[in-house]
Structure 1
Amino acid sequence: MRLLILSLTSLLVFACGNKTENTAMPAPELPVISINANNAITSSEYPASIQGTTNVEIRPQVAGNLEKVFVDEGAFVSKGQLLFKINEQPFREQLNNALASLHAAEAAVINAQLEVDKLTPLVQNKVVSDYQLKAAKAGYKIAVANVNQAKAMVGSAEINLGYTSIKAPVSGYLGRLPKKQGSLVGPADVEALTQLSDVHEVHVYFSLGESDFIAFKSQHAGNSINEKINNLPPVTLVLADNSDYSEKGRIDMVDGQFDKNTGAITLRASFPNAKGLLRSGNTGKIKLDMKHSDALLIPQEATMEVQDKIYVFTVDKTNKVSKQPIVVAGKSGTDYLVTNGIKSGDRIVFKGFENLQEGTVINPEKAKKAIAQK
């Protein structure tokens, strides 16, 4: 009886072992796509700073007490609008003194002319010497010169008086107003009264590295930089919240030389800003489109990012997967443009690779099925 029980137990263990071997996990079925070279357009983004077409520091030209402030911070003002008023009384007195000096000089001219007129016939009749007439004529010229000098003093006093009314040189938006009514202001002040920005159109400055600039130039027709600029397509401004600005801009300036410290060259794009949504000091990014021939594109969803590196799972002839790092040069829609790490004809896992291990053998699905899943 004991022998029978041991035999049955051995058979049971053997049967269980065979069952375990027969239920091994099958190779996972995963969608796989083939990579082929095609023409593509990629978008690259470059940090940019925004400035108004005109940024003016409003500074006093004469010293005095700030009598009135007619505007508020951030207000839109029109060209010629009165912004500040400096106490004009001292400058009006200077003008009155200059006018008085002018009137005295003009009277002196009249007296000098009378002296010349009086001496001229006397010299002709040899009653007085010619020397007296010459002295009178010289006195007349001095009197005329004094008039011109007095007129200049009047003009200077009028200019200084005009400087007490500070007006907007252009239309635009005001900045902060650090000086308040009653403050003593003057031309030597370190801080300006305010800043005024004309932002009906804005200039957006960004930089390209040497290799990017060479590639950028090579894609557009023209023998000179100006000709190439004229053939450039519109560009997009990406705002700080990653939204696209509603208006397109055009590149209209390329700096004359590279920055020796950064190795980059500055470009300028101009954007209309009729609604005043953009202000000087804003930041954003310029999005440039570049054409690529024989480019390798892979869907972004077929990649994974680990510690700032991007990987794909390639599939060899035996359907074994390998985790492969790639170098991405830009984006084309939802695809990455790859310059290194894979080549045309390679296969990569499209989905379901999150838990894949290096060297796993998979059962690839057909490419059409994988594309349909995309």
Structure 2
Amino acid sequence: METIRLSRRALNQLILLGAVVIGLTLHACNSSQATATAPPPQELPVISVSGRPVTTYTDFTASLQGSRDIEIRPQVDGYLESIYVDEGAFVHKGQTLFKIDARTYTQEYNTAKAQLLSAKAALESAQINVTKLTPLVQANVVSDVQLKTAKAAYDAAAANVAQAQSLVEAAKINLGYTNITAPADGYIGSIPFKTGSLIVKAQAAPLTVLSENHEMHAYFSMSETDFINFKARFAGNSVQEKIKHLPAVDLVLADNTVYPVKGKVELAEGQFSKSDGTISFRATFENKDGLLRSGNTGKIRLANQVSNSLLVPQEATFELQDKVFAYALTDSNKVVGKPLTVVGTSGHFYLVSGGLKAGEKIVYQGIDRLRDGVIIKPKLMNADSVMRTASL
């Protein structure tokens, strides 16, 4: 048998050719397998974005106070003899709240009355003297000087009676101050004193605070930006005129329930606070059932009617680097993430002023499985039905 001898160069070319053939064969196999296993586009629900009138709400932190919070203070000094009410109790106007030891003031009153009786007796004596001297002077039995002296004594006695009467009234008033009564209907606040405590007029702390709360005031503040938006939103040449055009407001309580009675904004301060740059407002709420108390906190909720705004369900959006995005559908059924300009919220919806146009379609569900450029099979959903479902 004849042996075939190949040169080194021919051998290398033969090896390279074999490697190329094997590589092309493997590539063809892999391409066929990939083509055979490529999945179809996933079917995802899409909705058409539309504009419609909506109501948005802005909340402002508020603190509540009674229409009058009256400090109950002593007007005489003495020991606290009795406390007739408990903290948090409802009291009526004229009801006795506290009793200060009245013995000293009773004695002062009795002394003043005795002095009045003495002054009246001196006046009567002076009157008798004037009556006695008058005919004697007319008969030239005594000099006119004596009658003038008697009349002067009478005038002094009359002045003493008036002074004594004033002292009696002052002592009577002080004696009455030992019985401290409620100046109005309302609820009693904390009572920092106990029976036997020394009470003085000049003390810093009141005996208690009586909250007259058949009406409640809710105080809240707006930032400068909120105030500018408020002025632009409502008609009127002045702030007070604009307040008159404000709709009734809601009070959201600390547990996020809404107080059943709406309130009315009545007052605004004339200038911004230098400390925090806010301006204060006050809203008034009826409180017939006494559900609200001074010291409560909550939020004032202002409604804002927006005539036409694009509504995008929050479920159909995602956040990336502090921006809100939605996947919009192109003509070729590819999805493209678009940043949205969000101007507010209404329930479970974003109010959008930029990034999308009315009639544009976006992916409603399944956005966590998407990325830019992915082709989907859109399933168009009824926008009104989606809106109702998202509002629940």
Within 2, Cα distance between the matches of 1:76 and 1:324?
57
CA contact (8 A) 1:33 1:371 kept: no
Residue matched to 1:195? 209
Per-residue Cα deviation, 1:205-224 (whole angstroms, up to 9, x for no partner): 12223443344355555565
Structure with max Cα Rg: 2
Per-residue Cα deviation, 1:125-184 (whole angstroms, up to 9, x for no partner): 333333332232222222212111111111111111111111111111112221111111
Residue matched to 2:151? 137
Report which stretch shifted further, 295-304 or 182-191.
Answer: 295-304
After superposition, the Cα gap between the structure-2 partners of 1:231 and 1:365, relative to the gap in structure 1 and judged at 3 Å, is same
Within 2, Cα distance between the matches of 1:37 and 1:262?
37
Per-residue Cα deviation, 1:25-79 (whole angstroms, up to 9, x for no partner): 5554443444444433211111111111121121111111111111112111111
Q: Does structure 1 residue 365 correspond to structure 2 residue 367? A: no
2:367 maps to which of 353, 368, 373: 353
Deviation of residue 230 (structure 1)?
4.4
Per-residue Cα deviation, 1:219-264 (whole angstroms, up to 9, x for no partner): 5555655555444432211111111112222223333333344333
Within 2, Cα distance between the matches of 1:101 and 1:93?
12
The DSSP-based 3-state class of the residue aligned with 2:367 is coil
Number of residues of Structure 1 aligned to a counterpart in Structure 2: 367
What is the identity, as a one-letter code, of the residue corresponding to 1:103? L
Q: Does structure 1 residue 158 correspond to structure 2 residue 172? A: yes
Residue matched to 2:142? 128
What is the identity, as a one-letter code, of the residue corresponding to 2:326? F
Unaligned runs of 5+ in 2: 1-20
TM-score, length-normalised on structure 1?
A: 0.86
After superposition, the Cα gap between the structure-2 partners of 1:33 and 1:310, relative to the gap in structure 1 and judged at 3 Å, is farther
Within 1, Cα distance between the matches of 2:123 and 2:239?
63
Report which stretch shifted further, 260-269 or 60-69.
Answer: 260-269
Within 2, Cα distance between the matches of 1:274 and 1:181?
33
Q: What is the CA RMSD across the aligned residues, in angstroms? A: 3.1
Residue matched to 1:107? 121
Deviation of residue 267 (structure 1)?
2.0
After superposition, the Cα gap between the structure-2 partners of 1:316 and 1:48, relative to the gap in structure 1 and judged at 3 Å, is same
What does residue range 238-317 of structure 1 map to in structure 2 within 5 Å? 238-305=252-319, 309-315=322-328, 317=330
What is the identity, as a one-letter code, of the residue corresponding to 1:209? S
What is the identity, as a one-letter code, of the residue corresponding to 1:326? T
What is the identity, as a one-letter code, of the residue corresponding to 2:339? Q
Report percent identity of matched pairs: 49
Unaligned runs of 5+ in 1: 1-6
After superposition, the Cα gap between the structure-2 partners of 1:38 and 1:9, relative to the gap in structure 1 and judged at 3 Å, is closer
Report which stretch shifted further, 285-294 or 97-106.
Answer: 285-294
Residue matched to 1:73? 87
CA contact (8 A) 2:69 2:210 kept: yes
Residue matched to 1:51? 65
Deviation of residue 320 (structure 1)?
4.0
Within 2, Cα distance between the matches of 1:32 and 1:371?
13
After superposition, the Cα gap between the structure-2 partners of 1:315 and 1:305, relative to the gap in structure 1 and judged at 3 Å, is closer
